[in-house]
DNA sequence: TGATTATGTGAAACCGCTTACGTCGCCGTG
DNA sequence: CACGGCGACGTAAGCGGTTTCACATAATCA
């Protein structure tokens, strides 16, 4: 025995948990009097091991308090059982819930979630994905359809499966699960059109690096243009998605008359802000104006004026995403159900276009100027 | 070329990225005409490699699009650079923000976050921690001080560093970062006492497997008992932490008079619910009653009656936790700043005890019965 | 009963990267 | 001019599991 630190064959056949070296599969094997292969088998394919040995190994394993080393297994298996997800942020309840559901579903299938936030920055996202890939994730979950081409390239080159979430796009069909933002907003707009509204305001989320926001806006535009309508520039405002921002943007919209009779918000918090600002100013909802949002959060139905909005089951998105990647990893065809239902939650903040939507315009012009127009 | 799938020695000294085998460090080494050790060194200790080789390796690496295999590195290094965190849920904005901050801070230090939710279930938490440990996380972040002894035992036995968050307890001093729930609530209660309130209601979060909630309640009790006061049983209610629950619990409190003059809510959403219910019933805040919460969320300051509450920088908690584990992993002494500041955000939902708090009691008894008492 | 086929185990070769050592070339001294 | 020292690299032994393949032994069949 020279001065070898740890090299050479592992002598010292200590048979109990010595504090020195952590216990490994080999220690278990030795204590159970079997080969390492057998120990490995009781772990992975117990049915191929005789009951006797199985128990001997289990006992030894328990006595030694052995915790299998995942990294070693991953190296040998070429699978980590980990899935990486990059969300823009978790401050948004929607993403938080989706993340939670994603994690839960993945876990129940034996996978672990690696989570990171890109803060709506595609370069950052790329770095994170790269980090995930280096860590050996089996699959990746992304939000939205807009990504750095390099990101997708990397994933493709290494053939790492991935899903894009929160913006189902029928054009691409594959690789994406979630609500169809455009179609959802299209439907909500049509709902307002059916109520007779013709003059619309839009409080949109900034579409910078946010294809979901862009798709929503497109949905509104499409629905309107089908009726030969469009949003007046001064009635289209955009910004971040806080309540305070919603208030400020709403103020901008009503800066001067004529006001829109319906204001569509691209996000729950923006809608909450708009409604709070409107009621604070004594604007009757839906008497004088209708305000609707996208996405449902609890506060929306608890406010003095409950807010009409689209309910997106964001936890469903998380589950679908988990489903998708797990199926793909198992070599199966992912469920065909990739699009996620949305539902209009009709509440008190919206209603028929005010009959008296004529008493507008700054210098009280002729009434009914463009009320029931078209 | 028989039909060998991948076995045998890797002959075929192909020098370009063949679709077959993924490129590995060896391929890079071969293309750069250096040993594997050198490639590894340019990656980990570039300063110990001559500029010439460094560049040759970099070039080869880039040309091959090599992505180092983290699992292999982890196995060799005995470090994964991953930190596991178990939160009760992410639906709670606080945890979501903390998770986000934790991830951001960890990432900037080169670590990756593994995330999971326990749903306030300690058994579940133990399983998750176990899973993390098997995955080889370098450290673990937990929420609260209450945990399955086995969980802590496992961590200790494998000497995996961990922090407990969101409930700084001066008794334990170590291993925990966050606000001191008890002390914070103690302070908030004293604030109300200073305003003259003597009859308190408490809408608490269920303390089941939630030591933070328990600590908060204790804070209220301590502050009151210091004044010889206590909460009447019928004024102490508890439940989950939704807005709707807040409303319902508030209703229970005001079921019969005398009402408390101040209601302390154990959570932001409960407070929002209480305030909405109170205003809906025409109860003047703070004219007739004061309502305060714990924890600040945006909606609280945007409601018609902005709510007084404690601001906890939950992102700070995340950062502190990251700090703690990273420092510990580096063998350094964690920052001494483990406790996280809280601040009373005084808003309109609280004020001096109503002078007329005498017009209470069901059968309109003698006024001032116990108003300024003591 | 001997040949054949399941079935259960063990020996040993990896998985892809890190790193302790050893080697080699070059420079500075005595 | 030979020798010790030093730095840059290469060699090869792991890290802790998995898995292929060979090999017994037991069960099955002619």
Give A103's contacts in chain B (Cβ within 8 Å). Answer: 115-117
Q: For A143 and C16, how far is CA from C1' in angstroms? A: 31
Q: What is the pLDDT of residues B84-136, one digit of tens each?
A: 999 999 999 899 999 999 999 999 999 999 999 999 999 999 999 999 999 99
Please name the residue that has the structure tokens 């309640």.
B217
Co-location of A249 and A297 in the same domain: yes
Relative orientation angle of helices B51-64 and B25-32, to the nearest 10 degrees: 120
- Kindly report which amino acid residue has its CA closest to the C1' atom of nucleotide C19: B37
Interface of B with A in 38-77 (CB under 8 A): 65, 67-72, 74-75
Question: What pLDDT is attached to residue B1?
Answer: 28
Q: What's the burial of B325, exposed, middle or buried (CB within 10 Å: 0-12/13-18/19+)?
A: buried
- Report if residue A363 sits inside a domain: no
- Classify residue A228 as left (phi > 0), alpha (psi -120 to 50) or beta: left
Tokens of B348: 């309109």
A308 membership: H or E segment, kind and range: strand A308-312
Q: Is residue A367 part of a domain?
A: no
Distance from CA(B44) to C1'(D4), angstroms, rounded:
30
Residues A229 and A202 grouped into a single domain = yes
Total H helices, total E strands in chain B: 13, 11
Q: Which residue of B has its CA nearest to A269?
A: B299
Domain match, A173 and A86 both:
yes
- A309 and A188 assigned to the same domain: yes
A16 vs A23: CA distance, rounded Å: 9
Phi, psi of B263 (to 5 degrees): -120, 125
Nearest-CA residue relative to C1' of C15: A76
Beta partners for residue B86, in sequence order: B116
The string of DSSP codes covering B126-171 is HHHHHHHHHTT-SEEEEESS---HHHHHHHHHTT--EEEES---TT
Distance CA A43, CA A72 (A): 14
Say yes or no: B307 and B198 in one domain. Answer: yes
Confidence at residue A172, expressed as pLDDT on a 0 to 100 scale: 74
Chain A residues inside the 8 Å CB shell of B65:
157
Confidence at residue A245, expressed as pLDDT on a 0 to 100 scale: 97
CATH assignment at residue B42: 1.10.260.40
Question: Which nucleotide's C1' sits nearest to the alpha carbon of A51?
Answer: C8
Q: What is the pLDDT of residues A327-357, one digit of tens each?
A: 999 988 888 788 999 999 999 999 999 886 5
Contact B302 A273 (CB under 8 A): yes
Instruction: Name the A residues in 121-160 with CB < 8 Å from any B CB.
Output: 128, 130-136, 154, 157-158
b/e map A27-39, b = 16+ CB within 10 Å: bbbbbbebeeebb
Closest residue, chain B, to A279 (C-alpha): B304
**Cβ A99–B115 below 8 Å, yes or no?**
yes
The reply to whether A327 touches chain B by the CB within 8 Å rule is no
Residues B327 and B105: their CA atoms lie apart, in Å, by 12
Residues B193 and B292 in one domain: yes
What CATH number corresponds to the domain at position B321?
3.40.50.2300
Contacts of residue A22 in chain B, CB cutoff 8 Å? 158
Could you tell me if B16 lies within 8 Å of chain A, comparing CB atoms? no
Say if A305 falls within a structural domain. Answer: yes
Q: Which positions of chain D lie under 7 Å from any protein Cβ?
A: 8-21
Nucleotide nearest to B44 (CA to C1'): C18
Q: Alpha-carbon distance A101 to A109, whole Å?
A: 12
B299: in domain:
yes
pLDDT, position B361: 37
The answer to whether A120 faces chain B, any CB pair under 8 Å, is no
- Quick one: average pLDDT of A39-46? 95
Classify residue A260 by its DSSP letter: P
**Of all helices (H) and strands (E), which one includes residue B188?**
helix B181-194
* Tokens read off for A364: 């009280």
Question: Given this model, what pLDDT does residue A10 score?
Answer: 35
**Confidence at residue B159, expressed as pLDDT on a 0 to 100 scale:** 93
Cα(A27)–Cα(A35) distance, integer angstroms: 10
- DSSP conformational letter for B229: -
- From B68, B100, B119, the end of a domain falls on B68
Q: Is residue A3 part of a domain?
A: no
* Residue at the smallest CA–C1' distance to nucleotide C11: A35
- The answer on A309 and A217 residing in a single domain is yes
pLDDT at B173: 66
How many angstroms away from the CA of B334 is the closest CA of chain A?
A: 24
Query: Would you say A28 and A40 are in contact if contact means Cβ atoms under 8 Å apart?
Result: no
Neighbour count for residue B51 (Cβ, 10 Å): 8
**Chain A residues near residue B22 by CB distance under 8 angstroms:** 158
Q: Which chain A residue has its CA at the smallest distance from B70's CA?
A: A135
Residue pair A71/B75 in contact by the 8 Å Cβ criterion:
yes
What pLDDT score was predicted for residue A8?
30
pLDDT digits (tens, 9 = 90+) for A295-320: 999 999 999 999 999 999 999 999 99
Cα A172 to Cα A162: distance, rounded to the nearest angstrom: 14
- A186 with A298, same domain: the answer is yes
Q: Are β-strands A342-345 and A308-312 bridged in parallel, bridged antiparallel, or unpaired?
A: antiparallel
Chain B: residue nearest A244 by CA?
A: B302
Taking alpha carbons only, the member of A69, A68, A63 closest to residue A15 is A63
Residues A279 and A214 in one domain: yes
Dihedral over Cα of B9, B12, B14, B20: its sign: negative
- Separation of alpha carbons A116 and B100, rounded Å: 7
CB B225 within 8 A of CB B190: no
Q: What is the pLDDT of residue B276?
A: 98
Give the number of domains in chain B. Answer: 3
pLDDT over 70, % of chain A:
89
CA distance B251 to B236: 12
Q: Do residues A30 and A61 make contact, with C-beta atoms less than 8 angstroms apart?
A: no
Q: Which nucleotides of strand C lie under 7 Å from a protein CB?
A: 8-21
**Structure token digits, residue B175:** 């291993």
Cβ proximity of B315 and B331 under 8 Å? no
Both tokens of B2, joined, read 């028989």
Residues of chain A in contact with residue B128, where contact means CB-CB under 8 angstroms, are: 107
**pLDDT (0 to 100) of residue A340:** 92
**pLDDT tens across A98-129, in order?**
999 999 999 999 999 999 999 999 999 999 99
Identify the H or E element spanning A187. Answer: helix A181-194
- Cα-based torsion angle of the residue sequence B342, B344, B345, B351 in order, rounded to the nearest 10 degrees: 170
Task: List CB contacts of A159: < 8 A, sequence separation 6 or more.
Answer: none
Among candidates A161, A151, A84, which has minimal Cα distance to A115?
A84
Distance CA B133, CA A39 (A): 19
Phi/psi at A82 (5° precision) = -120, 145
Same domain, B278 and B323: no
CB contact A283 to B (< 8 Å): no
Q: Which residues contact B167 (CB under 8 A, 6 or more apart)?
A: B143, B144, B145, B176, B178, B179, B180, B181, B211, B212, B215
Q: Does A321 lie in the same domain as A175?
A: yes
* Full DSSP string of B242-309: -HHHHHHHHHHHTSSSSPPSEEEESSHHHHHHHHHHHHHTT--TTTT-EEEEES--HHHHHSSSPPEE
A165 and A214, same domain (yes or no): no
Q: Tell whether B248 is within 8 A of chain A (Cβ).
A: no
Pairing of strands A308-312, B200-205: unpaired
With CA atoms as reference, report the closest residue to A294 among A259, A261, A270.
A270
Q: Which residues of B fall within a CB distance of 8 Å from A90?
A: 90, 96-97, 99-100
Residues engaging strand D (CB under 7 angstroms): A 6-10, 21-22, 24-26, 36-37, 39-41, 43-44, 66, 68-69, 72-73, 75-77; B 7, 33-38, 48-50, 52-53, 72, 75-76, 78
Q: Examine residue B193 and state whether it is found in any structural domain, yes or no.
A: yes
Q: How far is CA A297 from CA A301, A314, B235, B297, in A?
A: 8, 11, 29, 14
With a cut of 70, which residues of chain B have pLDDT below it? 1-20, 173, 356-374
CA dihedral over B221, B226, B231, B233, signed as positive or negative? positive
Residue B217: give the domain boundaries: 181-312
Distance from CA of A116 to the nearest CA of B (A): 6
The Cα-based distances of B232 to A273, B103, B197, B221, B259 in angstroms read 38, 43, 14, 11, 10
List residues, Cβ < 7 Å, touching strand C.
Answer: A 4-5, 7, 33-38, 41, 48-50, 52-53, 72, 75-76, 78; B 6-10, 21-22, 24-26, 36-37, 39-41, 43-44, 66, 68-69, 72-73, 75-77
Domain membership flag for residue A112: yes
Q: How many helices, marked H, and strands, marked E, lie in chain A?
A: 13, 11
B230 falls within a domain: yes
Closest to B89 in 3D by CA, of B196, B210, B231 = B210
pLDDT at residue number A207: 92
Percent of chain A having pLDDT more than 90? 83
Q: Are A290 and A262 in contact (CB under 8 A)?
A: yes
Checking each nucleotide's C1' against the CA of B73, the nearest proves to be C17
* Matching residue, tokens 């560049």: B55
pLDDT in tens, A143-201: 999 999 999 999 999 999 999 999 998 887 678 999 999 999 999 999 999 999 999 99
Between the CA of A171 and the C1' of C2, what is the distance in angstroms?
A: 68
């Amino acid at each position: 025995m020279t001065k070898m630190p740890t090299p050479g064959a592992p002598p010292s056949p200590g048979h109990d948990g010595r504090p020195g070296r952590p216990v490994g599969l080999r220690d278990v094997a030795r204590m159970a009097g079997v080969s390492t292969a057998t120990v490995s088998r009781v772990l992975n394919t117990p049915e191929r091991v005789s009951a006797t040995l199985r128990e001997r190994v289990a006992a030894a394993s328990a006595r030694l308090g052995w915790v299998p080393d995942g990294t070693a297994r991953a190296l040998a298996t070429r699978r980590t059982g980990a899935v990486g997800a990059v969300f823009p942020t978790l401050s948004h309840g929607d993403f938080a819930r989706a993340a939670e559901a994603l994690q839960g579903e993945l876990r129940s299938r034996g996978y672990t979630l690696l989570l990171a936030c890109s803060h709506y920055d595609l370069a950052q996202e790329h770095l994170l994905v790269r980090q995930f890939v280096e860590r050996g994730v089996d699959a990746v979950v992304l939000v939205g359809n807009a990504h750095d081409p390099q990101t997708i390239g990397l994933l493709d080159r290494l053939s790492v499966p991935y899903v894009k979430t929160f913006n189902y796009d029928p054009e691409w069909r594959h690789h994406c699960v979630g609500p169809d933002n455009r179609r959802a907003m299209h439907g909500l707009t049509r709902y307002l059109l059916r109520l007779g509204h013709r003059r619309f305001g839009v409080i949109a989320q900034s579409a910078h690096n946010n294809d979901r926001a862009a798709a929503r806006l497109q949905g509104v535009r499409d629905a309107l243009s089908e009726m030969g309508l469009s949003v007046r520039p001064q009635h289209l405002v955009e910004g971040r998605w806080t309540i305070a921002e919603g208030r400020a943007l709403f103020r901008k919209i009503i800066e001067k008359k004529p006001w829109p009779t319906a204001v569509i918000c691209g996000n729950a918090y923006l809608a909450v802000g708009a409604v709070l600002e409107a009621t604070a100013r004594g604007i009757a909802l839906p008497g004088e104006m209708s305000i609707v949002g996208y996405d449902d959060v609890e506060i929306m139905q608890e406010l003095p004026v409950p807010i009409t909005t689209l309910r997106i089951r964001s936890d469903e998105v998380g589950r679908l995403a988990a489903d998708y990647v797990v199926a793909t990893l198992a070599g199966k065809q992912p469920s065909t159900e990739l699009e996620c239902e949305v539902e209009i939650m009709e509440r008190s903040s919206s209603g028929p276009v005010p009959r008296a939507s004529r008493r507008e315009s700054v210098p009280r012009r002729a009434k009914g100027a463009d009320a029931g127009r078209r």
